[in-house]
Amino acid sequence: MKALGILALSLVALQASAARLHVRGTVTDAATRQPIAEALVRVYKDGVKQHVLHTGAGGHYGITLDNGAQYVIRFSLPGRVTKCFGIDTHGPAWEDDHSVKDVEVEMTLFERVAGLDLSFFDMPMGLARFTPMTGYLSWNKEYEERILPEAARLYAEVMLRRDPLLAKHP
């Protein structure tokens, strides 16, 4: 039993010194692509809220993630549809690798439309996997291909309801 405790401590120490992922980006308006200030960014680690921050005037956010966890990063603003993406940081790591890998993720938010069910956007708009040993981040293309048609259909419906002239001039 004592050996098991030592192994667990060794694994924790190894994870603490492995390559880590820094996620940064800009929150923008989906229609204008202009930065959104004061968007709420919530970071959940293994289902528990860990960090809450707001974007600044330029719409920027940034957070460094620990290894060995599942993350959901959720973006919201009153009157806008909340969106999120997920990152898995589990995996082997080199001992004493203190590097930090950067990835930039833009998140677009759009206005809510009364009477339109947009709960689809509660699902992650992307899923990624970060491998601490290699510092490689990969996005799940199959997942994106499955959700993209419905996301595009709903966004088109939002735009049509916001601007009925779009329906007459495709």
Cβ contact 68:90 at 8 Å: yes
Q: Give CA–CA dist 34/22, Å, rounded.
A: 23
What residue spans define the domains of the chain? 2-168
- Which pLDDT belongs to residue 165? 56
Q: For strand 40-45 and strand 70-76, is the pairing parallel, antiparallel, or unpaired?
A: antiparallel
The whole model's pTM is what? Answer: 0.84
Nearest in space to 39 (alpha carbons), one of 103, 85, 107: 107
Over residues 62-82, the pLDDT tens digits come to 999 999 999 999 999 999 999
What are the CA-CA distances from residue 116 to residues 29, 154, 157 (Å)? Answer: 19, 9, 9
- Which pLDDT belongs to residue 85? 98
Per CATH, the number for 2-168 is: 2.60.40.1120
